[in-house]
């Protein structure tokens, strides 16, 4: 059995979501490209170490295993350097594959288990403050994807934004139901279940979001009348000028352009979601409520993720304590 065959066999048995499968394939591609034809019994620790070194140095050669069409067309020969945060998942998957081979009796050792993970540094989270959020939404209100940015700063994930349909928007009850996600996979995108059970949720719809959604619904109706058969009627909230749903990567690129046009610093599209949580946290919304709003399973994860906003919250708390401890007693209390 070759490494390529072993990886393919292991992937078949994972039974995971399409998005996770795509991530696994991406992380394992350098390993298969480098060692795909090697019998698994001949793979050594040094072989895997060389794959890691090539990824760190930006000298990893590209192959064709599960390669996206855009990569094969461009005929890119060498990968850009990978960070430890990208290399470590590859090592984790490789360890699991060789563990599986050992359980089957195909190999007697796990060479990947001998390769240490690379040290990583937690990346700094960048968010938009309240003034920047307002500036962005004002500048993009008339844009085709303007409603997507409105949904993003209200805490929806990219996939949730793209899968949201008009049937999930209840203007009478002022609610928004999140029940699916559209995810990028090799060769396109797929609509699947939400990330977790708690990600399936119904949210109250603030007035400004309701206004933005009504404006978008009106825009789509007018476009449908003007374009006739050229309009693609998908029933989705976020679509392009012809009614087609954008690819997830297209939305990410449009977000970057929207920030640039509004004169705002670059933050990831997912960080708009973080901005929502941070602003809620700063205003004293309980962590459990923020977790429910975002669709997190674990409120502790929410607190750890948005702990960076605690420093400002503590400063505010100190000011409140200072006003209490320095307040002069009134006449009644002095008597």
Locate tokens 């309240």: which residue?
A: 130
Provide CB contacts within 8 A for 205, sequence distance 6+.
Answer: 169, 170, 171, 174, 175, 176, 213
Give the C-alpha separation, 254 to 287, whole Å. 31
Residue 303: band (very low, low, confident or very high) from pLDDT cuts 50, 70, 90: low
Report how far residue 262's alpha carbon sits from residue 242's, in angstroms, rounded to the nearest whole number: 24
Q: pLDDT per residue over 106-116, tens digit each? A: 999 999 999 99
Res 2: pLDDT: 97
pLDDT of residue 333 exceeding 50? no
CA 21 vs. chain centroid, Å, equals 15
Q: What distance in Å separates the CA atoms of residue 169 and residue 203, rounded to the nearest whole number?
A: 10
How confident is the prediction for the chain on average, in pLDDT? Answer: 85
User: Which residues are paired to 78 by β-bridges?
Assistant: 61
More confident residue, 205 or 297: 205
Place of tokens 């119904």: 202
Backbone angles phi, psi at 176, to 5 degrees: -130, 125
- Lowest-confidence region among 110-114, 176-180, 303-307: 303-307
User: Would you kindly state where each structural domain of the chain is located, as residue ranges?
Assistant: 3-114, 130-315
For 149-179, b where at least 16 C-beta lie within 10 A, e where not — what string? bbbbbbbbbbbbbbbbeeebbeeeeeebbbb
Q: Answer whether residue 157 shows pLDDT above 80.
A: yes
Distance CA 12, CA 164 (A): 30
The pair of three-digit structure tokens given for residue 156, joined into one six-digit string: 């929806």
pLDDT, residue 301, reads 63
Residue 69 clears pLDDT 50, i.e. is over it: yes
Q: Categorise residue 188: left if φ over 0, alpha if ψ from -120 to 50, beta otherwise.
A: left
Furthest-apart CA atoms within the chain: distance in Å: 90
Chain segment 317-328, per-residue pLDDT in tens: 455 455 555 555
Which CATH superfamily groups domain 130-315? Intergrase catalytic core (1.10.443.10)
**Alpha-helical runs (H) found in the chain:** 3-12, 18-35, 45-57, 69-74, 84-103, 130-139, 146-153, 158-163, 207-227, 248-261, 269-282, 287-294, 299-305, 310-325, 331-334
How much is the pLDDT for 27?
94
Q: What is the CATH number of domain 3-114?
A: 1.10.150.130
Residue 332 has pLDDT above 50, yes or no: no
Over residues 233-287, the pLDDT tens digits come to 999 999 999 999 999 999 999 999 999 999 999 988 888 887 777 777 666 677 7
Closest alpha carbon to 51 in 9, 15, 82? 82
pLDDT at residue 51 in the model: 97
Higher-confidence position of 45 and 295: 45
Q: Say whether pLDDT at 119 is over 80.
A: yes
63-71 contacts: CB < 8 A, separation 24 or more?
A: 63/29, 63/32, 63/33, 63/34, 63/36, 65/4, 65/29, 65/32, 65/33, 65/36, 66/25, 66/29, 66/32, 66/186, 67/29, 68/186, 68/187, 69/187
Token match 């008339």: residue? Answer: 142
Question: Which neighbouring-strand residues pair with 138?
Answer: none
Q: Tens digits of per-residue pLDDT, 122-154?
A: 666 677 888 888 899 999 998 999 999 999 988
Q: Is 317 helix (H, G, I), strand (E, B) or coil?
A: helix
Quote the crossing angle between the two packed helices 84-103 and 45-57, to the nearest 10°: 160
The whole-angstrom separation of Cα 175 and Cα 167 is 11
């Amino acid at each position: 059995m070759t490494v390529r065959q072993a990886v393919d066999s292991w992937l078949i048995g994972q039974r995971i979501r399409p998005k996770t499968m795509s991530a696994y394939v991406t992380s394992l591609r350098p390993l298969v490209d480098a060692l795909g034809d090697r019998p698994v019994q001949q793979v050594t620790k040094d072989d895997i170490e060389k794959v890691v070194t090539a990824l760190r140095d930006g000298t990893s050669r590209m192959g064709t295993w599960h390669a996206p069409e855009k990569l094969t067309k461009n005929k890119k020969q060498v990968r850009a350097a990978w960070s430890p945060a990208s290399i470590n998942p590859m090592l984790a998957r490789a360890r699991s594959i060789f563990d599986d081979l050992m359980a089957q009796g195909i190999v007697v050792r796990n060479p990947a288990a001998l390769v240490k993970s690379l040290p990583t540094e937690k990346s700094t989270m960048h968010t938009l403050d309240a003034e920047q959020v307002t500036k962005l939404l004002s500048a993009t209100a008339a844009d085709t994807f303007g409603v997507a940015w409105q949904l993003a700063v209200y805490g929806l994930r990219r996939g949730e934004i793209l899968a949201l349909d008009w049937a999930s928007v209840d203007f009478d009850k002022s609610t928004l139901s999140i029940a699916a996600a559209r995810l990028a996979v090799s060769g396109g995108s797929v609509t699947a279940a939400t990330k977790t059970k708690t990600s399936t949720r119904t949210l109250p719809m603030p007035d400004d979001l309701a206004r933005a959604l009504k404006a978008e619904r009106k825009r789509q109706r007018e476009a449908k009348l003007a374009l006739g058969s050229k309009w693609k009627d998908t029933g989705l909230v976020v679509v392009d000028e012809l009614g087609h749903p954008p690819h997830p990567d297209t939305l990410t690129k449009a977000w970057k352009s929207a920030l640039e046009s509004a004169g705002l610093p670059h933050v990831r599209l997912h960080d708009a979601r973080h901005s929502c949580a941070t602003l809620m946290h700063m205003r004293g919304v309980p962590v459990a409520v923020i977790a429910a709003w975002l669709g997190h399973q674990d409120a502790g994860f929410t607190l750890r993720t948005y702990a960076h906003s605690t420093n400002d919250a503590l400063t505010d708390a100190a000011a409140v304590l200072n006003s209490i401890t320095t307040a002069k007693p009134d006449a009644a209390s002095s008597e």
